[in-house]
Structure 1
Amino acid sequence: MNEAIEEAINLVENGQVDEGLNHLYKLKESVKNHDDKLLIADLFLKWGFLDEAKEIIFELLELYPDEGQLYIDAAEILIEQDNEEDALEYLEEIKEGDPAYLQALVIMADLLQMQGLDEAAEQKLLMAKKLAPNESLIDLGLGQFYADIGEYQKAIPYYEKVLADGSEVEQINIYILLADAFVHIGKFEEALENYEKGLQQRIEINALFHYAFTAFQLERYELAIAKWNELKDLDEEYVALYLYLAKAYEHIGALNESYKTIQQGLELDPNNKELLVYAGKMAMKLQKHEEVEGYLLNATNVDNGYIEAINLLSSYYLNSYQYDKVIENIERAIDTGEFDPQFEWDLATAKKHIDDYNHALIHYENAYTSFKENIQFLEDFGYFLLEEGNRDRAKEIFKIVLVLDPANVEIEQELYRLEEL
């Protein structure tokens, strides 16, 4: 290496950045050796001085218009400057047979995919594969390309070939990429196996989460719990794990541990509406009645259109005989433009209990469209009609119940009694 260039590098690396750069600027003008010029351009590019690097590369291109690597260098600078179209034009200048042609194809594929031109990108990668059939980086590129466009089944053989070749790619865990692809096509056992191998190579936080989630999907709750707790030990602020860890605890019947976990999540993210709703559910199950309303109200405050929270809050109010609060809760949601068929059923139930029968009937009729095959609703509606003296309509509803549930003895007897009257 040119001693003067080496001196500039040492100055920069030892913190004397301005002095080192000034030294390099002078060298840029005075150095004659083209390899040294290229090295200076690489240093400018590495340190973020794109215009200086581009000036040198373009100067060299005028001298060596058939040197493919210079076109690669020019394209990389243009990409850094967000000028992808010009970068593509430079890459297209590289001729087949040039040592840089293979690299150019791969870079062009990336650029074309960024522009949404997936078919063109695929063709570039397949051309590269034809030229270098045993090049693992090409196989990896094809695997990642197909995964990026959602064709995971096509990605898998390429990842498997990289692994079969025994190739290692710096900073890329092929086992994890393969596991993710298996998850997307529903092969969870294969995914689990590859997550395990990948995590043995190197612990990756997101991969550990997905490993646990895959175990959860396979109903291997103990394994999921162990892995999410391992993740929590590594990064307790990984908020996404708390909801699923709580659900896994619930599945094995550890309700107190589930509730404790969801509270830990809320300490980190107190406005997480999913955590708030789940906390409300667990508080109900644990009969912590004084805490249920607070969690669910907070969830609706975070998102006043969060239907699950609104319906769960109405259910809580109904079960605790707070009928005015049911009406207030749902009407507040409706006023903000929200609607769910459950609103009508809950309003019907609440207004029936406060003796507002006319409006209750309207809500029952509105709900009927959505719940005409729901036996619980039909029984509720039928008995309401019966109490209101509308026997003919009640008989119609009870007959529908028997069509849906012929073994429903109670409704059969009720219908028989009505027919006898």
Structure 2
Amino acid sequence: MIEQWLIDGEFEKVDQWLEEKEQQGRFDELYEASEELIQYGFFERAASIFQAMRAHFPHEAQLFVDEASMRFELGEDDVALELLEHVSEADEEYVQALLTLADYYEANGMLELALGKMEKAYELLPHEPIVQYGYAELLRQAGKHREAIRLYEQLLQLKDSDFDEATLLGSMAMTLSEGAAYEEALPYFERLLDVEELPATQFAFAHALFQTEQYERAIAPLQRTIELDADYYAAYTLLGQTYAQLEKNKEAYEVFERGLTRDRFEKGLYLAAGKMAIKLGKREEAIKHFEEALALDPEHLEARLNLASLYEYEERYEAVVDLLATFENNTPLMNLYLAHAYEALEQYEEAGTLYASLEEDLKTNIDYLNRYASFLVEEGRRTEALPLAQKLLTLTEDPTWSDFVERMAYEDDFDRYE
């Protein structure tokens, strides 16, 4: 009746009509009109209808639930919660009130409270599909995957469920995947793909295959994901990783590069491309990729560490210092590269201080022990280098350091003899 007025923006006519129907006591028409108001987002007017009707039907629990739903939509949470307190367990609408509360608590991040309300609703109506599905969804969010799966399976077995098969198959497959039951999830993904084909479904299927080390099988759904949505960036990353697992490094690098042509702001792809470029011996390309990743995210530790390693390999020691000297969140390995850069640049005081500061963090790191011991020997501090060399010999058989320890022992014996 009022739909066209709402579309045309003739709200005065709407308000006049609503007022007339209330005066005439035509509450059935008012209630029907509230559905149209809600459909077009006029929650305030719908709430006013329910409020007016409550004055005439103070014991009609449905009106309290309906108005509470509108008050939640309007952000009037306290009013909505107070309205729902009027719905008792004796009312037929009690379960509906519980579902409304569960939705509210879930939307506000109070998962335990939401789960409690839904659990109560399930106790009262354990065979109601909407209750089963809502309870399963909350159980899934709470990480109770097996309990959620049991409910999804019950719904899948219903012939006349309100939920379509694709929704339930998707929920089953994703819940199993979230619980790391990837092998069990695969047949549900396959059934779902027979019902509907979406990029997200193809990707999730491929991810499950990847997790079960079925790399060859994962390639086709990942390629299909990209065919359906060329901007599905995660698919490029996973496809590249899949090729890498199959030692098809050239194909992996090409996929990462292709992904970057679609999105120059995806730092994960730059990182993946950089690592693969190293494997392929493309050091300059790798440097560029890591530099791009850092340009997007200066705090990205892995990109910074890889870049420092490449700069050192290329003996670009000034670049190592520029990259790490003023960065406040260096890892111990980053500081090892920085110490070596200081040493190479003949900034021996800075190098020695930094090497010494790393002893606790890297006391079993062979590379660190080698570098620091060598530095101390070059500085003429052989006595300080001795315990490092001895530590090295407990970790590796290096004739250089075994000879050094023997010489130091001989010199010590000679000095005592003297």
- Alignment partner of 1:226 is 2:217: no
Number of residue-to-residue matches in the alignment: 407
Separation of aligned partners in 1, 2:104 and 2:166: 20
Instruction: Please say if residues 71 and 91 of structure 1, whose CA atoms lie closer than 8 Å, have aligned partners that are also in contact.
Output: yes
Show the counterpart of 2:303.
Answer: 309
Measure how far apart 1:207 and its partner are.
3.4
Q: Which amino acid aligns with 1:377?
A: Y
- Equivalent of 2:338 in 301, 324, 347: 347
Tell me the residue number matched to 1:383.
374
Q: Is structure 2 residue 278 aligned with structure 1 residue 284?
A: yes
**Does residue 322 in structure 1 map to residue 342 in structure 2?**
no
Amino acid in the other structure paired with 1:383: S
CA contact (8 A) 2:156 2:165 kept: no
**Using the alignment, how far apart are the partners of 2:80 and 2:194 within structure 1?**
40
- Displacement of 1:110 in angstroms is 1.7
Shift of 1:187: 2.0
Select which of 83, 87, 96 maps to 1:90: 83
Name the CA distance, whole Å, in 2 between partners of 1:83 and 1:170: 33
1:140 pairs with 2:140: no
**Within 1, Cα distance between the matches of 2:13 and 2:386?**
97
- Which residue of structure 2 lines up, in the alignment, with residue 50 of structure 1? 43
Mapped to 1, the partners of 2:204 and 2:304 lie a distance apart of 30
The answer as to whether partners of 1:344 and 1:366 remain within 8 angstroms in 2 is no
Aligned mates of 2:69, 2:208 — CA distance in 1: 39
- Structure 1: gaps (5+ residues): none
Distance 2:395 2:58 in 1: 80
Distance in 1 between residues matched to 2:380 and 2:255, nearest whole Å: 51
Question: CA separation in 2, counterparts of 1:88 and 1:200?
Answer: 44
Work out whether residues 152 and 168 of structure 2, in 8 Å CA contact, stay in contact via their aligned partners in 1: yes
Matching of residues 34-183 of structure 1 within 5 Å: 34-166=27-159, 167-170=161-164, 173-183=167-177
- Kindly tell me: are residues 209 and 72 of structure 1, through their superposed partners in 2, closer, same or farther at Cα, counting changes over 3 Å? same
- Per the alignment, residue 394 of structure 2 pairs with 403
Q: 1:296 to 1:174 in 2, by over 3 A?
A: same
Code of the aligned partner of 2:359: Y
Q: 1:298 aligns with which of 289, 292, 297?
A: 292
SS class of match (2:370): helix
Following the alignment from structure 2 to structure 1, what is the Cα–Cα distance between the partners of residues 20 and 230? 56
Farther-moved stretch of structure 1 (201-210 vs 320-329): 201-210
Q: Distance in 2 between matches of 1:378 and 1:168?
A: 67
For residues 250 and 259 of structure 1, the distance between their equivalents in structure 2, rounded to whole angstroms, comes to 9
- The amino acid of 1:415's aligned partner reads V
Change (3 A) 1:228 1:341: same
| Per-residue deviation, residues 64-90 of structure 1 (Å, max 9, x unmatched) | 222222222212221221223322222
1:24–1:40: 8 Å Cα contact kept in structure 2? no
Equivalent-residue separation in structure 2 for 1:397 and 1:327 (angstroms): 25
Q: What is the alpha-carbon distance in structure 2 between the residues aligned to residue 180 and residue 386 of structure 1?
A: 59
> How far does residue 237 in structure 1 lie from its aligned partner after superposition?
0.9
Q: State whether residues 240 and 251 of structure 2, in contact with CA within 8 Å, keep that contact through their aligned partners in structure 1.
A: yes
CA distance in 2 between counterparts of 1:103 and 1:172 reads: 25
Which SS does the other structure have where 1:259 is aligned? Answer: helix
1:259 corresponds in structure 2 to 253
Structure 1 residue 168 displacement after superposition: 5.0
2: CA distance, partners of 1:86 / 1:374: 63
Q: CA 1:187–1:414 in 2, change beyond 3 Å: closer, same or farther?
A: farther
Contact 1:139–1:158 (CA under 8 A) maintained in structure 2: yes
Distance 1:18 1:301 in 2: 50
2:44 counterpart letter in structure 1: D
Q: What letter corresponds to residue 149 of structure 2 in structure 1?
A: I
Percentage of pairs with the same residue: 28
